[in-house]
């Protein structure tokens, strides 16, 4: 029996939050996670503007009050003055997990040299992992899933391969992935029989 996981999805965009254009971040996150996970998911979604105080309050609420095990944000990670998602995320963090940002940039660098301008980050707050993902649906998928060669072999690992074990280590539910999408990596001692 698969454990239920509570996942918070936050799209940070001034224009989408004000209705200027349709948000594509939340549907892209939900769709990818639905195909990748065996676990039943309880979704908590928020569409908010690029306001640091509001982003901080939203992340705190999702973790402290609603007890999300995983919170994924999309948007607001660049160097522009209104891109404050990483600043808000770091402000409410108990611990920083720099490897997530490093790997996200490594994936994006396969496509564009401006990937180094991204400030994507990962943090832990209480028993929750919070990750700042890119804003474009194609980039969200590549970041989570990784890059494969023509034969379907992983060329650059996506960050989701490490997420289930991280959630194990901070006391969350046991996430099980569909290997055709992404294989969760755990040391043998941490694996459970199916």
Q: How confident is the model at residue 118 (pLDDT cuts 50, 70, 90)?
A: very high
- pLDDT of residue 193 exceeding 90, the answer is no
- The answer on pLDDT for 194 being more than 80 is no
With CA atoms as reference, report the closest residue to 89 among 120, 134, 115. Answer: 120
Q: What is the pLDDT of residues 51-62, one digit of tens each?
A: 999 999 999 999
CATH number at residue 83: 3.40.980.10
pLDDT exceeds cutoff 80 at 149: yes
Number of domains observed in the structure of the chain: 1
From residue 55, give the alpha-carbon distance in Å to each of 43, 114, 125, 161, 177. Answer: 18, 25, 14, 26, 29
**Of 80, 105, 66, 110, which Cα lies nearest the Cα of 13?**
80
Q: How confident is the model at residue 128 (pLDDT cuts 50, 70, 90)?
A: very high
Please tell me the distance from the alpha carbon of residue 65 to that of residue 67, in angstroms, as a whole number: 6
d(CA 66, CA 7) in angstroms, rounded, equals 10
pLDDT, residue 151, reads 87
Each residue's pLDDT tens digit, 48-95: 999 999 999 999 999 999 999 999 999 999 999 999 999 999 999 999
Mean pLDDT of the chain: 95
Q: Is the dihedral of CA 12, 121, 105, 167 positive or negative?
A: negative
At 153 the pLDDT is 83
Q: What confidence tens digit (pLDDT) does each residue in 169-188 have?
A: 999 999 999 999 999 999 99
Specify burial of residue 51 (Cβ count, 10 A radius: 0-12, 13-18, 19+). middle
Rounded-to-integer distance, Cα 6 and Cα 157, Å: 24
Question: Which residue range(s) make up the domain with 182?
Answer: 5-190
Decide if pLDDT at 154 tops 90: no
d(CA 74, CA 131): 9
For 18-47, how does the pLDDT look when each residue is reduced to its tens digit (9 = 90+)?
Answer: 988 899 999 999 999 999 999 999 999 999
Q: Which residues contact 8 (CB under 8 A, 6 or more apart)?
A: 44, 45, 46, 59, 62, 63, 66, 68, 70, 71, 72
């Amino acid at each position: 029996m698969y454990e239920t996981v509570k996942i918070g999805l936050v799209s940070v965009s001034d224009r989408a939050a004000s209705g200027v254009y349709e948000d594509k971040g939340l549907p892209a996150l939900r769709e990818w996670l639905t195909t990748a996970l065996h676990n039943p998911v309880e979704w908590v979604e928020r569409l908010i503007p690029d306001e640091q105080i509001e982003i901080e309050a939203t992340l705190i609420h999702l973790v402290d009050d609603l007890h999300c095990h995983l919170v994924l944000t999309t948007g607001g990670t660049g160097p522009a003055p209104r891109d404050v998602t990483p600043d808000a995320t770091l402000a409410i963090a108990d611990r920083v997990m720099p490897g997530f940002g490093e790997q996200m940039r490594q994936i994006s660098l396969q496509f564009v040299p401006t990937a180094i301008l991204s400030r994507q980050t990962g943090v832990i707050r209480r028993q929750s992992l919070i990750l700042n993902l890119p804003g474009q649906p194609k980039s969200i998928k590549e970041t989570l899933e990784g890059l494969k060669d023509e034969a379907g072999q992983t060329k650059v690992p996506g960050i989701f391969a490490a997420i289930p074990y991280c959630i194990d280590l901070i006391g969350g539910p046991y996430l099980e992935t569909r290997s055709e999408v992404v294989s969760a990596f755990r040391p043998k001692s941490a694996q459970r029989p199916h």
